[in-house]
Amino acid sequence: MKSRISRSSGCGKGEGSLVRIAFHTLGCKVNQYETQKMVESFQARGFDVVDFDERADVYIINSCTVTHTADSKSRQAARNAWHRNPQALVVLAGCYAETSPDASAGIEGVSLVLGNRGKDDIADRVLDHLSPEFVATLAPGKSETTRSERTRATIKIQDGCDQYCSYCAVPFARSTMYSRPRAEVQAELADLAGRGFREIVLTGIRLGRYQDEDGASLTDIVRIAAETPGIERVRLSSIELTDVPEGLIDLMARNRRVCRHLHIPLQSGDAGVLKRMNRPYTPEEFLSFVEQARALVPGLAVTTDIMVGFPGETVEEFESSRRFFERVRFSRAHVFRYSPRPRTAASRLPDDVPAAEKGRRSRALIQLAEKHADEFARCIIGEAVPVLVEGKHTEDKLRSGFTDNYIRVEFEADDHLVGDIVDVEVHSVSRGRARGTITPPDRAARGGT
C-alpha cells in the first residue's frame, strides 16, 4: 500500500489549486447519506469535489457487500479510479471494506482501506496520507448546494442490525445498533430546511428500531420532521415488517406531509423459505399488515425487495412465492438473485438453484412487478397530483419527479421550478411512469398538512 501522496504526484491544476477529490457510492440510502457527510467534511477542509469519472488526486469508493455483484462493482470502481490516475490516493471504504479488509487491500491501486468504523474520521486519515506540500494547498471552504440539488435530502437516524437473516452480510458490516439523539436529528432537520430542502428521507439499517435514550420512537421523529418549518414531505426508506412502530400508520393517514409510501422487504412469499431465511414473519402476517395499512391510508404505495434462488428453493416454493407476490400487488419491487455471502448461515448450504433457473424466476417476477407498477400508476390518470420537481432531465428532455406515493411523473417545466412542488395533471402511463402537464392547484391535490 502507498504511504504519502505528494503534490507532484497529483493531477496538476497549477500551484495553489485545490486538491481534487471524487466519490463513488454503491448500495443503500445509508451509504448515500454517509457519502454526503464525507463530501461536506472534505469541502470544509478545502478539497475540490469533482465527478468520479474525472481525473482526481483522491478517490473514495463507499462500497457495498449486499450481493456478490456489489462486491464486484466495488472492486471495479477502485481499479477504474487507479487507472484514471495511477498516482492518486484510492480509498476503499464502507461495507465491503469492513467485511473483506484483506481482499480490499489487495485490489490493484488501493492505498487505504477504511470500513464503516473509519468513515467518521476519514478526512483526517486521508490528510495523513497526503504530503505536507499537498496539504498546504488546501484552504478551508464551505459546503454549498445549488438549487438543482435542493430537492430531497436523506438523514440517517439509526445504524446497525442484529437480525442475522441467513443470507445477509449486513450484520457483519454494521453490527452495532445505534439511534441518534432526537435533539441531534432535530438540529439537522432545521439545517436542511433552512438550506431549502423540501423533502426529507429518514433512513437507517433497521429504521423502525429507532429509539433514543429518552425513548423517542420513529413515529416521534416522523412527527417532528413533519412539523419542521420548510419541510413539506417526510419519506421513509426501507422498514422491516416487524419493526413498524405503534402509531406510524395512523400518523401517515392523518398528516399529509408524511409520504404514503412503505418499502417493506418481503424476500420470499413462501413460508418454508422465509423460515430458512430466518425472517420473523409468515406470508399471512405480511399480507394482513399490508391490507390493514392500505385500508387506513388510501393510495398507499407498498414497495419491496424479493429474492429468487435461495438455497433449496424448489420450483413449488418459487411458485408459492410468485402467487403470493401477485396477490400483494406491490407498486414497485426490486427482484434480485441469491448469491452466497461470506460468514452467513446460507453460505454453508449448497447453492443448488442453477443460474439459468434463477434468471428464469427473476424475469417472471420482474414481469409481474412491471405489470403491477403500471396498474398502480394508472390510478392517478386524470388527477392533479403534487410532484417534487427534480433537476435532471429525462431522455425526452422533460423534467420528472415523484408523487408522495412514489410514482414518477414526467412533464415540461422551467428551470426555476426545480425544487418546488407543483400540481401535475396526469394523462398517460407507460412502464410505471406517468406523464402529465403542470396545472394550477385548482383541485384537491394531496400536499400540505
pLDDT at 293 exceeding the cut of 80: yes
Q: Which own/partner contact pairs does 128-133 have at CB distance under 8 Å and 24+ positions apart?
A: 129/2, 129/3, 129/4, 129/5, 129/89, 130/4, 130/5, 130/19, 130/58, 130/89, 131/4, 131/5, 131/6, 131/7, 133/6, 133/7
pLDDT at 438 exceeding the cut of 90: yes
Q: Average pLDDT, stretch 382-389?
A: 95
Place of cell 414497485: 332
pLDDT at 428 exceeding the cut of 90: yes
32-46, 326-340, 430-444 — which is least confidently predicted?
430-444
The pLDDT value recorded for residue 201 is 97
User: What is the pairing mode between strands 421-430 and 433-438?
Assistant: antiparallel
The pLDDT value recorded for residue 397 is 83
User: How does residue 9 score in pLDDT terms, banded at 50, 70 and 90?
Assistant: very low
Of 145 and 266, the one with more pLDDT: 266
Query: What is the rounded CA–CA span in Å between residue 196 and residue 206?
Result: 28
**In angstroms, how far is CA 248 from the centroid of its own chain?**
21
pLDDT at 245 exceeding the cut of 70: yes
**Mean pLDDT for the chain?**
91
User: How does residue 142 score in pLDDT terms, banded at 50, 70 and 90?
Assistant: low
Residues 6+ apart with CB under 8 A from 89: 2, 5, 57, 58, 59, 111, 112, 126, 129, 130
111: DSSP letter: E
- Domains recognised in the chain with CATH numbers: 7-135 (3.40.50.2300), 147-378 (3.80.30.20), 384-438 (2.40.50)
The pLDDT value recorded for residue 7 is 42
Q: Tell me which residue of 363, 358, 361, 300 sits closest to 329, measured CA to CA.
A: 300
Q: Average pLDDT, stretch 413-423?
A: 91
| Model confidence pTM above 0.95 | no
The pLDDT value recorded for residue 141 is 64
Of 10 and 377, the one with more pLDDT: 377
Q: How many CB atoms lie within 10 A of CB 440?
A: 9
Residue 283 backbone zone (phi > 0: left; psi -120 to 50: alpha; other: beta): alpha
Q: Tell me which residue of 91, 220, 203 sits closest to 156, measured CA to CA.
A: 203
Could you tell me if 116 and 387 are in contact, meaning their C-beta atoms sit under 8 angstroms apart?
no
The pLDDT value recorded for residue 4 is 47
pLDDT in tens, 161-170: 999 999 999 9
Residues 6+ apart with CB under 8 A from 348: none
Cell of 35: 457519502
pLDDT in tens, 179-233: 999 999 999 999 999 999 999 999 999 999 999 999 999 999 999 999 999 999 9
pLDDT at 323 exceeding the cut of 90: yes
Could you tell me if 46 and 254 are in contact, meaning their C-beta atoms sit under 8 angstroms apart?
no
Residues 6+ apart with CB under 8 A from 444: none
Q: Average pLDDT, stretch 278-283?
A: 98
Q: Average pLDDT, stretch 352-366?
A: 97
Q: Average pLDDT, stretch 87-108?
A: 94
pLDDT at 5 exceeding the cut of 70: no
> In this structure, which amino acid lies at residue 239?
I
The pLDDT value recorded for residue 8 is 42
Could you tell me if 362 and 308 are in contact, meaning their C-beta atoms sit under 8 angstroms apart?
yes
The pLDDT value recorded for residue 121 is 84
- For 79, phi then psi, to 5°, come to -65, -40
Q: How many CB atoms lie within 10 A of CB 137?
A: 19
The pLDDT value recorded for residue 11 is 47
pLDDT at 37 exceeding the cut of 50: yes
Classify 195 as helix, strand or coil. Answer: coil
Residues 6+ apart with CB under 8 A from 152: 197, 198, 199, 200, 201, 235, 388, 390
Q: Residues of 290-325 as b/e, b for ≥16 C-beta within 10 angstroms?
A: beebbeebebbbbbbbbbbbbbebeeebbebbbebb
The pLDDT value recorded for residue 447 is 44
Q: Give the CA count within 13 Å in the CB-facing half-sphere of 230.
A: 16
pLDDT at 435 exceeding the cut of 50: yes
User: What is the pairing mode between strands 399-402 and 408-411?
Assistant: antiparallel
The pLDDT value recorded for residue 232 is 96
Label residue 27 exposed, middle or buried (CB < 10 Å: 0-12, 13-18, 19+).
buried
